[in-house]
Copies of this chain bind each other. A is one copy, B any other.
């Protein structure tokens, strides 16, 4: 009898719950409904629950929306954090009206709260929906401030989640950004309009899942919120092969699915789209800052200590100079050890020079310079001493090298070892200054 060889299965694939809500201007109603759904998700053993955009409220007018908006430490977020802690459940608050100050419109912020009630990430919506047709008019910029920063995915007990909001789903580059940065799941909390929802919602979510080979989790507002605003609903979960594995009925409620990280692996092994991409012909540059603290850099066969590295992008790093020609003379290199610019990939090239721009802007601003020399000694015959591509950024001021500005080159032509050398302390201090400017 088979039942006798019972090998108790370990449930390795956590269940998640995705919400569909018909939120209104009544914040109490909304949070009570949220509470009810969290409780239900808990009963089904879910590890994480996903609320849609406008998880706090949907105002009946711009004025009401502005009036109802709260800061991140307001009552509404406190309640969500409390619920997360009480129910020991991770919560994605897909979007709330984040009042950062009186002076600017609230951001549309997607917040993830852990099961201790701590906020682990805040993402301000990047792409604003501005539709203005006979059928629908909704200009998000009129009542919300756009975000300005790409955030890499965040670790949770159900996998690494890449955060998005609603309209972001139309921009495949953002999803690919998350994929490249290690996402298992893309979250798209939304409040899609009915006309665009029925034309595009499911197709775009599935396409994002197929292209990134991630789970896509799309919580949604549904139905009539105010006299003039309705949402499409169709909250759903899509698996990494692009299949809708759960979907809410046409009303408030939950749908459920397992998240299986092994399945992601299997799908990616089956079809290696990252590998098949033609990075030699096109590449997407993402303006992105990485932490520098405690991370040494490799510079040819040398190590640049973390204390000298003041900036990191995805593929490059910037560091201070042992022998600066002038104050602010810094260097930018690709992460990968590459001797010649001819060996840089298009992605590295794009990243390197966009990083040069970012660094240059800050250094010049700091030294109140308006000019700079950007120089690469590409190859031994061009004076390259360290066999790892590095771009010199040399701030310039009026007559800093005498009457002829090009005198600088004469100085540069002197071998750098003849120039005075900075102490480690000086370099660490310089690093600290730039970091502060670059990571405000």
Contact = CB atoms under 8 A, between A and B. Distances in A.
Interface of A: 1-3, 6, 8-9, 11, 15, 28, 31-32, 35-36, 39-40, 43-45, 75, 78-79, 82-83, 86, 126-133, 135, 148-150, 167, 170-174, 176-177, 194, 196, 198-200, 203-204, 206-207, 210-211, 224, 239, 241-251, 253-258, 260, 263, 266, 269-273, 276-278, 280-287, 341-342, 344, 346, 349-350, 352-354, 356-357, 360-361, 364, 369-384, 394, 396-400, 404-410, 412-415
B241 A249 contact: yes
A249 B243 CA distance: 7
Contacts of A130: 272, 276
Given A284-B283, A287-B346, A413-B407, A246 B242 contact: no
Given A149-B281, A172-B173, A173-B284, 5 more contacts: A132-B270, A167-B276, A203-B242, A280-B287, A371-B381
Q: How many copies does the complex hold?
A: 4
B349 A357 contact: yes
Contacts of A352: 353
Taking chain A's interface residues, is the majority helix, strand, or loop, or is none over half, making it mixed? Answer: mixed
Contacts of A40: 9, 11
B11 A35 contact: no
A199 B241 contact: yes
Given A128-B276, A150-B282, A276-B167, A246 B241 contact: no
Nearest to A416: B406
B357 A341 contact: yes
Given A284-B284, A285-B285, A256 B372 contact: no
Given A2-B28, A412-B409, A249 B245 contact: yes
A371 B375 contact: no
A394 to B, nearest CB: 8
Contact of A282 (B82, B242, B285): B285
A253 B258 CA distance: 10
Contacts of A198: 198
B360 A354 contact: no
B373 A378 contact: yes
A195 B168 CA distance: 26
A342 B365 CA distance: 11
B410 A396 contact: no
A2 B287 contact: no
